[in-house]
Amino acid sequence: MARITQISDSAATPEAAALFTAIKGKIGMVPNLYRVAANQPAVLAGLLGLGESLGRGSFDARTREAIALAVAGANACDYCASAHSAISAGLKVAPEAVKAHLAGRAETPRMAAILRLAVAIVAAKGMIEDADLDAARAAGLTEADIVETVANVVANIFTNYLNHVAATDIDFPVVSAGKAAA
């Protein structure tokens, strides 16, 4: 049961209602994570804006979703594991690849390097070792790739932590991040 209110359409402030309308226009529904964030419409707007900005980066949707899954696995966030598994399925990512991403593993060397870096960032709370950067560079990641990885990790840490604090009700087919990452 949620510990922070998931704002309903009828209880939304005018600012949150406008954001809900935009979200529904894009994905057809308002996920409960966004309903929690709507308790402070500025937070919801910031979360959406960050996602839109990252969508204009060089990483494609599959890469961003793989990072989201790896971070959800590293932080044991069942809500994000569930949401990003569903989104990945919609992007035609194979179920085995989704499970691998949750565990911080990937099918291609480039994706594997990105996910290793992402998981290292989470584990070290950003204070990664020189060896982590050296490995990312040796795998072909540019400094732009490294910065974009950090940005995606941080965006997903925010949603993981908000879901942990709120105990957000999962409104996607449930995937356990703990079991997938084990």
- In this structure, what token pair is assigned to residue 136? 């990312």
Closest to 132 (Cα-Cα) out of 146, 120, 115: 120
Q: What is the pLDDT of residues 80-137, one digit of tens each?
A: 999 999 999 999 999 999 999 999 999 999 999 999 999 999 999 999 999 999 999 9
Average pLDDT over residues 21-41: 97
pLDDT at 146 > cutoff 70: yes
Q: Residue 180: its pLDDT value, please?
A: 46
Exposure letters 118-131 (e unless 16+ CB within 10 A, then b)? bbbbbeeeeebeee
Report d(CA 73, CA 81) in Å as an integer.
7
Report d(CA 154, CA 15) in Å as an integer.
25
Q: What is the mean pLDDT of the chain?
A: 96
pLDDT at 37 > cutoff 70: yes
pTM of the shown model: 0.95
Residue ranges of domains in the chain: 14-55, 61-181
Average pLDDT over residues 55-60: 98
Q: Is 174 exposed, middle or buried (0-12, 13-18, 19+ CB in 10 A)?
A: exposed
Average pLDDT over residues 130-148: 98
Give the count of beta carbons closer than 10 Å to the beta carbon of residue 139: 16
Report d(CA 78, CA 14) in Å as an integer.
30
For 105-173, the DSSP string reads --SSHHHHHHHHHHHHHHHTTT---HHHHHHHHHTT--HHHHHHHHHHHHHHHHHHHHHHHHTPPP-SS
Give the model's confidence band at 1: pLDDT under 50 very low, under 70 low, under 90 confident, else very high: confident
- In this structure, what token pair is assigned to residue 68? 């989201």
For 35-92, the DSSP string reads HHHTTSHHHHHHHHHHHHHHHTSSS-HHHHHHHHHHHHHHTT-HHHHHHHHHHHHHTT
Q: What is the pLDDT of residues 164-181, one digit of tens each?
A: 999 999 999 999 997 544
Q: What is the pLDDT of residues 59-86, one digit of tens each?
A: 999 999 999 999 999 999 999 999 999 9
Determine the topology of domain 61-181 in CATH. Answer: AhpD-like (1.20.1290)
